Homo-oligomer: A and B are copies of this chain.
Amino acid sequence: MKKILMITADGYDDSEVLYPYFRLIEQGFSVDVASFAKGPVNGKYHFVIQAGMSFEEVCPDKYDGLMIPGGKAPEKIRQNAAVLDAVRRFMERGLPVAAICHGQQILISAKVLCGRKCTCYPGIRDDLINAGGVYLDSEAVADGNLVTSRRPEDLPYFMREFVRMF
């Protein structure tokens, strides 16, 4: 059974957590959620997900892939050193990494986008480019082990690419 790590925090975009979370379970994968602390994590609107561990307790090498939803959470998460280390570890191992919407803010702070084809929410496009990313305006951009999308409406294409990588 494939094991996926999901990185999020209060203020996430509800759709961008619930669709990947339920979809990976449907696929037969297991999903561990990490956040600033173990316990309930609230979306912008209504969804609540349980984090099974804090960012500091994450062992990246136990997982087969990384999922980074967007919303308001990434702006806080990108300031967490343990998360940035974990992201770099997934990228070094060449494992599937997915980020959508504002999730790419974490990839920018982890400095892993240089020269990579990717997309993001239009409001942070200039930040992605300043971080060395090669911006494309497309529903889902797959470049090696990296999948990125722009917004909730892209979720079907985002998950189709991500699931295909396993």
Which A residues contact B (CB, under 8 angstroms)? 14-15, 18-19, 22-23, 25-26, 44-47, 75-76, 78-79, 105, 108-109, 122-127, 130-131, 155-157, 159-160
Copies in the complex: 6
Question: How far is it, in angstroms, between the C-alpha of A15 and the C-alpha of B157 when the chains are bound?
Answer: 18
Are A123 and B78 interface neighbours, CB within 8 A? Answer: yes
Among B46, B79, B131, B155, which residue has its beta carbon within 8 angstroms of that of A123?
B79
Are B23 and A126 interface neighbours, CB within 8 A? Answer: no
- The 4 tightest CB contacts between A and B, nearest first, are A75-B123, A26-B156, A45-B46, A130-B130
Are B130 and A160 interface neighbours, CB within 8 A? Answer: no
Are B14 and A156 interface neighbours, CB within 8 A? Answer: no
Are B14 and A45 interface neighbours, CB within 8 A? Answer: yes
Chain B CB within 10 Å, residue with most, of A22, A76, A160: A22
The answer to whether residues A156 and B46 also contact, given A18-B19, A79-B122 and a CB cut-off of 8 A, is no
- Contact sample, A vs B, 25 pairs, CB 8 Å cutoff: A14-B46, A15-B18, A15-B22, A15-B47, A18-B18, A18-B19, A19-B22, A19-B23, A22-B156, A23-B23, A23-B26, A26-B155, A26-B159, A44-B46, A45-B45, A75-B123, A75-B124, A76-B123, A78-B126, A105-B123, A108-B126, A108-B127, A109-B126, A124-B127, A130-B131
